[in-house]
Structure 1
Amino acid sequence: KSHPRMQGAVTREALANEQHAKLSKIHGQRSFSEQAYRDLDCQPSYEGTSLSNVLYVVGQSELVTIAPRWMVENAANKDQLQVLEFPFDNGSISGYLSWHESSEKDKGHIWLRDQLMMICGEVVALK
């Protein structure tokens, strides 16, 4: 919360000039972090394997990161973090569900898919 250069609002240029903590690529899998940073050209000063780890490091340093607001607001160290508005026009991130065909008729799996689609459908409908 006491970052020396980032207070109140942030511009694209200011964000690009900061040192970033980012999620590392795990086994070549794409993460939300790649989408969040797609319009921002910066090299990470720190790479963590989980977003909670990245948020911890950010709270202990002058590094910055791009993270979902809900995760920051529920982080164990939320008192050490500040949330600023994302300075890019497209602040949304796409997500996809995929599963093995053997799970297609599993009742628990069907329930989970239905819940996710219901929640995501509500979010999409609000926009």
Structure 2
Amino acid sequence: MSEIISEQAQPCEEVQLRDFDLNLLTVFDAVMQAQNITRAAESLGMSQPAVSNAVARLKMMFNDELFVRYGRGIQPTVRARQLFGPVRQALQLVLNELPGAGFEPATSDRMLSLSISSPLDIRLAPKIYNVVAEHAPNVQLRLNSCLDNNIEHQLRYQDVEFFISYKEFDNNAFCSDVLFQDEVVLVCSSSHPRTRSLNNREMYLKECHAVVNFAQVGSFSAEFYSTTEARRTIVYQANDLSSAMNIVSQTEMVTLAPRWLASEYMQMLNITLLPVTWMENTMKCYLTWHKSADKDRAHQWLRTLLNHCKSSL
């Protein structure tokens, strides 16, 4: 028994960074982003065999396969996904301290990519474009309206750097700031025969509803139609609120929309806006990014810029 205790009491050998080739971490980061050895080699300016050799050494270093073949590319293992965030943050912290590695908005030609869910793209895309152009004229901004349910994957691997939507991610791998809150109103045709009675939940649920497709990530309508009872009244699913309001203006359907958007369409469509009093009538707009980009100075700059400008967004 004493021999067993003596063996268990032996101290573990201390891990020393000098025992590892830390250059391999830049290869790991590139392969994780590219999910392809050839493309990773191109981005690193290395040969494909050299990257393959580095990946083999990484597998030994972390005692895990890290990457497995998937179609024409490769797919990271669970362990690789766990490592990606911490490794990327560590590399970014080092990169930030290197000479000439800082982010200078006035001169940088860095590309920044944002996805904005509907209908926020209508409101925010031109404002973000203009404010970035004012403060960083050479930055290449790429904006797109998000219909892709793969947004978490895109954020994780930096295909998209920011996501703006009404959706709050229930995952501690993501960070977010609240940019503002929108008031929600009920929209119906100005000739709707029951306008005066649409002031309580019971009457609201009896109506036929037009909504934004729930399958879309960040769907504006999904949160309001989460109950089985409410789902039974849906007769039209649109790809965006503009289409839903257009249908509503010509029928006896109703829909929910942010006041700013519905107010704009009042000038073009035959619609009436009614206050929502029987449920929570505000929605928060979130700026979301993956934690692995938290220390990136370009990310920090754009987050700060949008937060400073959010009163005008």
Q: TM-score range by the shorter chain?
A: 0.7 to 0.9
| Structure 1 residues 68 and 105: alpha-carbon distance in aligned structure 2, compared to 1, 3 A threshold | same
Moved over 6 A (4+): none
| Structure 1 residues 8 and 17: alpha-carbon distance in aligned structure 2, compared to 1, 3 A threshold | closer
1:57 to 242, 247, 257: 247
Distance 2:197 2:263 in 1: 17
> Bigger relative contact order, structure 1 or 2, given CA contacts below 8 A and separation 6+?
1
Matches within 5 A, 1:65-104: 65-75=255-265, 78-100=268-290, 101=293, 104=296
Q: Secondary structure at the match of 2:275?
A: coil
Q: Secondary structure at the match of 1:65?
A: strand
TM-score (norm 2): 0.33
Report which of the two structures shows the higher radius of gyration computed on alpha carbons.
2
Distance 2:305 2:194 in 1: 41
Letter in structure 2 aligned against 1:4? P
1:36 equivalent in structure 2 = 224
Higher strand share: 2
2:140 equivalent in structure 1 = none
- Where does the alignment leave 5 or more consecutive residues of structure 2 unmatched? 1-189
Deviation at residue 59 of structure 1 after TM alignment: 0.8
| Structure 1 residues 30 and 97: alpha-carbon distance in aligned structure 2, compared to 1, 3 A threshold | same
- Where does the alignment leave 5 or more consecutive residues of structure 1 unmatched? 123-127
Deviation at residue 81 of structure 1 after TM alignment: 0.8
Distance 1:115 1:88 in 2: 36
1:11 equivalent in structure 2 = 200
1:25 equivalent in structure 2 = 214
| Structure 1 residues 106 and 32: alpha-carbon distance in aligned structure 2, compared to 1, 3 A threshold | same
Q: What do residues 67-108 of structure 1 show as CA deviations (whole Å, max 9, x unaligned)?
A: 11111001275541101010324212233221252994327x
Distance 2:260 2:304 in 1: 22
1:125 equivalent in structure 2 = none
Q: Secondary structure at the match of 2:283?
A: coil
CA RMSD across the alignment? 3.1
